[in-house]
Amino acid sequence: MKWSAEIVTHRGEKRIAVRFPKDFKLVTRIKKLPNVRWSKTMQCWHLPYNEANVKRFAIVEYPLIKAEVNKLEKWLRSRRYSQSTISSYTKSLYVFLCFYKEKPVVEITNDDVTLFVNEYILKKGLSTSYQNQTITAIKWYFDIIQDKKIQVATLDRPKVEKKLPNVLSKTDIKNLLEVHSNIKHRAMLSLMYSCGLRRSELLNLKKADIDSKRNIIRIIQSKGKKDRIVPLSPKILILLQEYYTKYKPKTFLFEGEKAGERYSASSLAAVLKQAAYKINLQKPVTLHWLRHSYATHLLEAGTDLRYIQELLGHTSSRTTEIYTHVSTKNLQNIKSPFDDL
């Protein structure tokens, strides 16, 4: 039975991804390993990157390739890309260069990129966004680091998948936000929905970012290195004050077990998963669904699309317009011809 293991960066953390065909015995065995988790996005099990797991799965690292990848990493840092972006692109380049570890870098051509797409990306069923990300990383590496032109324009990039955002009803949202008895858990989920925050935006919030006198929140250097302000509901402000009185965080608004350290992304995801389980929500809800629901509910309430774009921090209005396709306000007024039969 074929299986594979590779080093990946998942949610900013270095992990070892393990893939194998569905088999009850193998699943049972891997579940027994410490801190193992299933990733729906990567469609694999993943474990901590440590010496024990490297040996367990016979991971081979290539120092010369890592040195080349580090060159791209330094260039990306000099351009002030975010850590998550740097991790994504350097990981993609590492996988590509490892695929051609027996071939000198200077001999790699467009045909090799096409072969990699077919023999690695497509065979593993990886996403179109990963494919585009990898092609961009390869282009940067050869253009900037190797000063050798890979003709990316002549490569066939995949068509971008047009997926509608997942939206919950107001009833489901209300149940999700109220089911937790822990006030910190309620406050985190409620703030995400009430302000349409991304996960990273919530976790990076500090007490000083909450302006209770003006009823606003300042989102500092978010995606695209942009600042923005969003209105703060008086109702959520009361909840935050109650939370702050009880927990008294030192640095970040929401902290983990250690004072001064931000709450972890995986723990926040678990909070939502527990809430969904408690209300028996039969949907694979994620934290980003709260942001999608916020935008859609604003649109259905008559808020101008331009304001929603500003509140979400979208650079292009085309990004915000996707919510017009999931709003049911106008659809409900359409009468089916079936009713006239």
**Residue 186 among the catalytic residues:** no
In sequence order, the 6+-apart residues with CB closer than 8 A to the CB of 284 are: 40
Structural contact between residues 157 and 130, judged by C-beta atoms closer than 8 angstroms: no
Cα(239)–Cα(232) distance, rounded to whole angstroms?
A: 11
Structural contact between residues 18 and 8, judged by C-beta atoms closer than 8 angstroms: no
Q: Which residues pair with 210 in a beta bridge?
A: 217
Q: Of the listed 198, 199, 262, 292, which one is catalytic?
A: 198
Q: How far is CA 19 from CA 24, 88, 108, in A?
A: 14, 19, 28
**Residue 291 among the catalytic residues:** yes
The Cβ-side half-sphere exposure at 155, using a 13 Å CA radius, reads 23
Residue 172: CB atoms within 10 A of its CB come to: 17
Q: Of the listed 288, 306, 325, 329, which one is catalytic?
A: 288
**Residue 323 among the catalytic residues:** yes
Cα(269)–Cα(189) distance, rounded to whole angstroms?
A: 10
Crossing angle (nearest 10°) for helices 287-300 and 183-195 = 50
**Residue 62 among the catalytic residues:** no
Q: Of the listed 186, 199, 262, 291, which one is catalytic?
A: 291
Q: Of the listed 66, 184, 223, 228, which one is catalytic?
A: 223
Instruction: Point out the residues that are catalytic.
Output: 198, 223, 288, 291, 314, 323
